[in-house]
Structure 1
Amino acid sequence: MTIHTYTDLPLVDRAAFELACARHGFAPIHFDVSGEADPDDPEHGELLIVRRGAWAQAYRIDARGQWLRQFETDLNGRFFSRAPYA
């Protein structure tokens, strides 16, 4: 699956992403979400890149939704709050 924006995520992941954003005072529009092949392991999956302003984080997409837990951990740690939205 090619991901260009968060709306291209599977429905369950999209809903979880929206809820995680809302819990931390963000809206999905505050983030730029895209997917790309993992340059270190292109045969085994895609990376989901989440950007906000100058900050970006890559998450490996898997069937268990681990990327969502990692994204929420980054929100809890205020990773995406370090710079104003550009």
Structure 2
Amino acid sequence: MQTTVLRYTDLPIGDRAAFELVCARHGFAPAHFDVSIHADSADSTHERLVTVRRGGWAQSYYDHHGQWVRQFEADLTCRFFK
């Protein structure tokens, strides 16, 4: 299994816009976070794993059709990344 690591700017435009909106709603900018996406280049049916890091904190989310942004927002609401 070979995985490809993508960055925030490689996200689909809809995911990128949703991420930016969530960040702004909670007083952050996308630059405050390091976002990496791990995708299996050999198997497009498997979902991507999105990892968000800030400082010493990191959280990974499975990309269930953009659901990772909602999970990320829930973590921001719980102040996980503060």
- Listed as ranges, the gaps of 5+ residues in structure 2 are none
* 1:16 counterpart = 2:18: yes
Question: Which structure ranks higher in relative contact order (CA pairs < 8 Å, sequence separation ≥ 6)?
Answer: 2
- Separation (CA, whole Å) in 2 of partners of 1:10 and 1:3: 14
TM-fit CA distance, 1:45: 2.0
Q: Does 1:79 align with 2:80?
A: yes
Give the TM-score normalised by structure 1: 0.79
> Are 1:57 and 2:59 an aligned pair?
yes
Q: Which residue is equivalent to 2:6?
A: 4
Counterpart of 2:34 in structure 1 is 32
Aligned length: 75
Residue 15 to residue 3, structure 1, CA distance change in 2 (3 Å): farther
Runs of 5+ unmatched residues, structure 1: 82-86
The one-letter code sitting in structure 2 at the alignment partner of 1:13 is D
More strand by share: 2
Cα offsets for 1:25-61 (capped at 9, x unmatched): 10000000001248xxxx6222000000000000101
Q: Which structure features the higher share of helix residues? A: 1
Q: How large is the Cα RMSD of the aligned pairs?
A: 1.7
Give the TM-score, by structure 2 length. 0.82
Provide the identity percentage.
67
Asked whether the equivalents of residues 47 and 60 of structure 1 are also in contact (C-alpha less than 8 Å), the reply is yes
